[in-house]
Amino acid sequence: MQLTLPAIFASFAALASAAAVPASSVYCSEATRFGVVTIEPSTLSPGDSFTVNADFTCALQYGINPEYTDYYIEVPVNNNGYEPPILIARRTPNLPTDSFTAQLPYAYYFANTSYVLYLATTYPVNGTNGTPYYPVGGVETPITITNIS
């Protein structure tokens, strides 16, 4: 292999461009842009305590800086209109994570229905005139509710 001046410049250019690209510590899929939420345990009966963990590492990488978070129990599909979301908590997260313990309310739940814990993330975005507005995006994780009366 012969070293030529153009080959040397090409090598330096490749090294410089590689150094200019910031290294991302975590790979973030588009599905994680509003956060990742988990619940333990995920099988619950009314009155049971559970822990919710939310991770906003990927949201921050997407430029989404959560200002408010709302956590709901919802029926995501085939909702007959009699199953409104149940607010579990409204929080201001301590970024990049949020964690809390709650109790499943003694509400009216329906047998043979799929439920999710839904995280609604509210974040500021500057509008066309520079003033902020607040879009909301969300993610969910499935839960099972048993001993429904």
Whole-number mean pLDDT of the chain?
Answer: 86
pLDDT digits (tens, 9 = 90+) for 102-126: 999 999 898 888 899 999 999 999 9
pTM: 0.80
**DSSP string spanning 5-32?**
HHHHHHHHHHHHHHHHSPPPSS---GGG
**pLDDT-derived band at 77, boundaries 50, 70, 90:** confident
Segment 123-143 shows an average pLDDT of: 97
Per-domain residue ranges for the chain? Answer: 30-145
* Distance from chain centroid for Cα 109: 25
Distance CA 1, CA 8 (A): 12
CATH superfamily of 30-145: Macroglobulin (MG2) domain (2.60.40.1930)
